[in-house]
Amino acid sequence: MEQYQASILVGVTVGFLARLYLLKVDYRQYPSYPHGYVTHISFGFIAAAIGAVAIPAIMKPDFTAVTFLALAATQFREVRRMERETLGKLDESELVPRGNDYIEGIARVFEARNYLVMAVAMVSSLVTYLVDWPYGVAAGVIAQIIAIKLMSGEVVGDIAEVIPSQPVFNGALLTVGGIVIMNIGLPEHREKVLKEGLSALIKPKDDNARATLDNLGQRQAILHVAAALLGSKREIGEWEFAPLIRKDINTGVLAIFLLPIEPDMECLIEAINRVPVLESSKRRPLASRVGRQAAD
């Protein structure tokens, strides 16, 4: 009995601490309110408890208890739905919204974190049951590190090169690298854009990257992250100051323009490089024979 208790205790503790480690506020500013923390901490504890109990239940054996794993999967899918709905409502008040694709990606991450916590708890519980609790703790930490590495996806900097550029006016047309961004009629607004605006070119490294960056959800994610990190001087009804991203239809190069609160070009480039490549936007035409032939 003591062996079972130690296994469960170590599994729950290590799994719960893993969820606390993953619960952090970043540039997305979510979750950043007390009720959000309570919700995710509670789900994290439940996930850790289920993962920790599963191993002693199998060893005893009590296979009826393992059915809780299926129940947990159902509940964790509700986490994704909850996050999707919450972020969708919050997006309505954003001047530079995340977009549906980015929201769906964030919701999937929150769901996956509960499965990650369950897996860490199961590994810790199993090793504790077979060896001893110090080894169980170490195994849980190693499992978490491996899982985080496997879950870390690509970012824009992996698939494209971000090059600083200068906004230029061709009459009333604002252009970046020869790509037309928008029409700005008022002279005082054009002067402000030239003085305070930042712009850059995003050049895809191959045809896979070009197809990925062509996705509207991916472009909106880039705009949102850039505006979230550097700020935006856009105001309601003032479209001249809105962050925008446009594509060169011949090359697939993207041009981004932003009127930031913090006009730092290095920070803009770093922000774009760190934008995650959304799962829904990933395209791999070069993986197919037709795609390779078309590229040639």
| Whether residues 67 and 114 fall in one domain | yes
pLDDT of 18 > 80? The answer is yes
Shared domain for 78 and 194, answered yes or no, is no
**Of 244 and 20, more confident:** 244
In eight-state DSSP terms, residue 281 is: G
Q: Count the alpha carbons within 13 Å of 98 in the hemisphere toward its beta carbon.
A: 24
Domain co-membership, 38 together with 96: yes
Of the three residues 152, 170, 202, the one that is the final residue of a domain is 152
Note the pLDDT tens digit of each residue in 67-99.
766 777 777 777 788 888 888 888 888 888 888
Same domain, 116 and 184: no
Higher per-residue confidence, 13 vs 2: 13
Rounded mean pLDDT of 119-128? 90
Q: Which position has the higher pLDDT, 181 or 42?
A: 181
Q: pLDDT: is 68 or 162 the higher one?
A: 162
pLDDT at 9 over 70: yes
Any idea which of 122-131, 240-249, 277-286 has the lowest mean pLDDT? Answer: 277-286
Last residue of a domain, one of 107, 125, 152: 152
Domain final residue pick, 152, 176, 192: 152
Are both 179 and 58 inside the same structural domain? no
Q: Report the distance separating Cα 231 and Cα 224, nearest Å.
A: 10
Domain co-membership, 120 together with 212: no
Are both 17 and 101 inside the same structural domain? yes
User: What percentage of the chain exceeds 70 in pLDDT?
Assistant: 89
Tell me, what's the pLDDT at 160? 93
Together in a domain, 100 and 237: no
Query: Which range, 41-45, 148-152, 200-204, is most confident?
Result: 200-204
pLDDT digits (tens, 9 = 90+) for 167-180: 999 888 999 988 99
Backbone angles phi, psi at 182, to 5 degrees: -170, 175
Band of the pLDDT at 246, cuts 50, 70, 90?
very high
- Claim to verify: residue 215 and residue 141 sit in the same structural domain: no
Write out the residue range of the structural domain in which residue 141 sits.
Answer: 2-152
* Top-confidence range, 157-161, 187-191, 231-235: 157-161
Separation CA 77–CA 111 (nearest Å): 6
117 and 242 assigned to the same domain: no
CA 66 to centroid of chain Cα atoms? 32
Residue 160 near residue 34 (C-beta atoms within 8 A): no
Would you say 273 and 155 are in contact if contact means Cβ atoms under 8 Å apart? yes
CA dist list (Å): 107 to 84, 126, 189: 6, 29, 38
- Does the structure show a pLDDT above 60 at 30? no
State how many domains the chain has.
2
Round the average pLDDT of the chain to a whole number and report it. Answer: 83
Average of per-residue pLDDT across 194-208 = 91
- Same domain for 103 and 215, yes or no, is no
* pLDDT per position as a tens digit, 39-55: 778 888 888 888 888 88
Both 161 and 216 in a single domain?
Answer: yes
The model scores a pTM over 0.85: no
